[in-house]
Amino acid sequence: MKIWIPQINPARRSGCTWLFGVQFGGGLVEGDNVRCKITVQANCCVLYASLGQNKAYQCAVGKTVCQKNDFHVGPNSALFVLPDPTLLQKESALSQYQVTRVASNGNLVLLDWYISGREGLLEHWEGASLRSVNSIHMDGVEIFRDVMCLSGDLTLRRASMGKYRVIGLCVVVGDVVGRHLADAIKALSIGNSYGVAADTNQIVACSPLYSDCSDTVVCGHVIRFCYSTTITAYEGVADILNPIFAMAGGNPFEKNY
């Protein structure tokens, strides 16, 4: 893996620097152990994206692909972690661990999402296993920890996931990004009006972040989602995050679907 910084920053007018994580061969293969560390200094803005969908390829029984990301967000700074979704091929085994440390007046938008497999080959959650851990700390206190696990009996797993081909979450932390996304978060928190049928092709829910430490005040929300198609997932996520794209310098998914 390498980090690519374009010579001509596509978001130069916004003052946000774009970085792209590039996987050699287009994805993660058995035995890979990828580690990435990004530090955003004070008064800076960075968007970390990918060049198209990431892929986790087939692994032999008992083997895994490991990926660890370590993010640091300084005071009065913003980090947008907005990669394309990771496609989980049949018999893939992915273990991902992401730790983000945010200053009390820092801002973070972190997206972590997955595709059930290669639609053309009728793959549907046939990966051997997925374990994705996201841990977010503010001033040394862990304010959020989430573990997403998919494993076990294939028939039961496919039945549980139903028609949904994309699942994921988006964590929003910070006053500035919170104000930009306030209307979208309010709409997601309220849900449908009485008598209005829900769209069964998608499930989107939003909840506020709370800290067990009384000395740490957290301004943040967690958005969880499921979509029945990859295209509607891209469209839905882009629609939710649209208010922050001006701050980030653009929509990193614009030409990817």
The answer, yes or no, to whether residue 61 has pLDDT greater than 90, is no
What is the per-residue pLDDT for 48? 96
Q: How confident is the model at residue 147 (pLDDT cuts 50, 70, 90)?
A: very high
Q: Which amino acid is at 250?
A: G
Whether the per-residue pLDDT at 103 is higher than 90: the answer is yes
Question: Would you state the pLDDT for residue 212?
Answer: 66
Place of tokens 């081909």: 165
pLDDT score of 62: 83
The pLDDT score that the predictor gives to residue 207 is 92
pTM of the model: 0.92
What's the confidence (pLDDT) of residue 46? 95
Which of 55-69, 76-90, 145-159, 198-212 is predicted with the least confidence, judged by mean pLDDT? 198-212
Handedness of CA 24, 247, 81, 104 (dihedral sign): positive
Q: Are 127 and 150 in contact (CB under 8 A)?
A: yes
CB-based contact 134:110 (threshold 8 Å):
yes
Residue 88 confidence (pLDDT) above 80: yes
Rg of the chain over all Cα atoms, to the nearest angstrom: 18
pLDDT of residue 10: 66
Supply the mean pLDDT for the chain: 90
Q: Which is higher by pLDDT, 192 or 97?
A: 97
pLDDT band per the 50, 70, 90 thresholds, residue 223: very high
Q: What is the mean pLDDT of residues 41-46?
A: 95
Report pLDDT for 76: 95
pLDDT tens digit string along 123-140?
Answer: 999 999 999 999 999 988
**């797993």: which residue's tokens?**
157
